Structure 1
Amino acid sequence: MNYIEEFGWDDSIQTIDKENAARVITVQKNNYRIADGNKEYLAHLSGRFLNQAMSSLDFPAVGDWVEVQKLVDEDKAVIKQVLPRKSQFVRQAAGMKTEAQIVAANMDTVFIVNSLNHDLNVRRIERYVLATYESGAVPVVVLTKKDECSSEEVAAAVSQVEEVAIGVTIVPVSNVTGDGFEALMAYLQPGKTAALLGSSGVGKSTLVNTLLDKEVQEIKGIREDDSRGRHTTTHREMFVLPNGALLIDTPGMRELQLWEGETAIGAAFEDIEALAEECHFKDCRHSAEPGCRVNEALEDGELSEGRFRSYLKLQRELAYEKRRQDQKAQLEEKNKWKKVSKGLKSKYKHRNVR
């Protein structure tokens, strides 16, 4: 009997026999652990997969559905292909190299986790909301450590977040009292997948332990001087909750460098986009043009300077990232044809020698 539906399998969106499918539940460097509802397997990529993969986006991520060849007696499997994703949270990989990194795939909801202390960062939340909209999942902001704050402090924090996460559900929670968890469970239905994203020390691992009602993730304290934590989760992993929902935990990200987001910036900044629609000139740059509705909103306090500066900064960042990606694509294409040309020359030279 196959229990793959427990991992969120949906016949309507998949393209292969479910007997040959499994879901990636853990990724550690080049090692993959997959599950098909009956058992787990340690999996590796087939040689053909490795030869055909063109970029980091082609490789399996936690949450991916994959076609596999199972070696049941050995608890091992070979991954043949990654099935089409319905959503994927992508960021620019850390470092100077231009490369995409998939943080999680096929999630229905992204819980953007931040703590209710002086590490609360609305600009960071803005970035996560934008990247989540781009991913195809639904963003939900989770504010942890509610028990450490007064009701007035919680209300003030929620108000700050509401200004940058317009229309996004905001849920303050306490792992100590359990307050707020009922609201979270509305997004954690059987067969549905959520991913926890955020910086180190904001309480993601504690959330996992509370939702699972057991200690599965190591928890380390935070520094009292700046409320910042150390990395506790070292790899991405999917857990099955007692009610049948699926939860992906991820290591804390020191920063979120955007990989893409042009199509979602209108959703993340719908307030500014709506104001821009009311400008007198359609190509208004929102600087000194007459009849600029955005400038009017800035002058009368309807729109904050910080919010508008962030909007412009993210637009510049996305444009810069796109140029980098285009340059990389052009270089890769050039190198590919160089190799093809070199191979053909070698082939004809060998023929002539014979």
Structure 2
Amino acid sequence: MQPKIKKLSKDISLLIAAGEVIDKPVSIIKELVENSIDANSKKIIIKIKNGGKDYISITDDGIGINPDELELAFESHATSKLNSKDDIYKVSSLGFRGEALASISSVSKIECKSRIKSLDYGNLIEIKYGKVISKSKIASNYGTQIIVKDIFHNIPARLKYLSNTRSESGRIGQFIQSVSMSYPKISFELIIDGKKKYHTKGDNSKITIFNQLYKLLSNDLISVDFRENSYQLSGYISKPNKNFGNRSRMNFTTNGRVIKNPKIFYSIENAYRYFNKNKRFPIFNLNLTIPFNEVDVNIHPQKHEVKFEKEAEVISFIYNNILKVLNSEIPSENIKINIEQNKVISQYENSEFDQTDF
């Protein structure tokens, strides 16, 4: 019999979308923490149990969600961050697709409490695998708390592919470290199985975080701040003698968004090869500020990949300026390296490493 074409049900459509957005506990945490950052939070508390597989809680002191919009926030393609199709090509917020909360709620049990500052009460919504269970008014602090429980219990095939608790916790810890370095004005607190594992003060000091995470002092680091045309590269890189055995301490953001771009990582590694012969990896936290309309963040549902309009120009800008600052820092008796202008890096061998110190 010829199979009939039919429209998928809402439940099935949500599960398919969730599979693209949410594949691990860290994916949930990334989406929720980015929402907290977009909400102008000054403090974000992350709690997990069993590697995030059983329990995730994200609490912030941001602007909160309007009570009339709380249920809508968990509908697919509901967002406050886009108003027209043109906005897609100049996204300035971290979240924008309107898929994350709907995807998370379709594969877990959720409690969301939120209060805006103009009200003296908060609101609670409970959702179980995509179905609203209850809504009520509650006493609550300003901001939002989202609790996620029992992820993928309605999709056993997905659940069995999650890693062990230590690996999942490690991925979460590495993400929180990276985002906390990129947003030093925000206080982050990570609690794993009831124990505080990581905390930043939110005092806007990246050097303090470098010291806390990697035991690096200010004289171990090189400040980077280069501007050229509409680009700016800023942050800190380690001196060549301060390095690590894998790429887990290489953090890069574009307009504040944590991204994975193999060509950028390879270009920075390549600049270090003149000064570091032991095949170890540099430690850095860098941000590229670029006009929003010159970078497309709508490449992948998880939003960790971006596409640059002038990729070769961007890569060359990064490579040449990292090489320039390293060249200026090496001892004067060493031979100076001539910087190759418009150096384009086109190959990269991508090796992923999990940092599982948590």
Higher RCO (C-alpha 8 Å, min separation 6): 2
TM-score (norm 2): 0.25
Q: Say which structure is richer in helix.
A: 1
Larger radius of gyration: 1
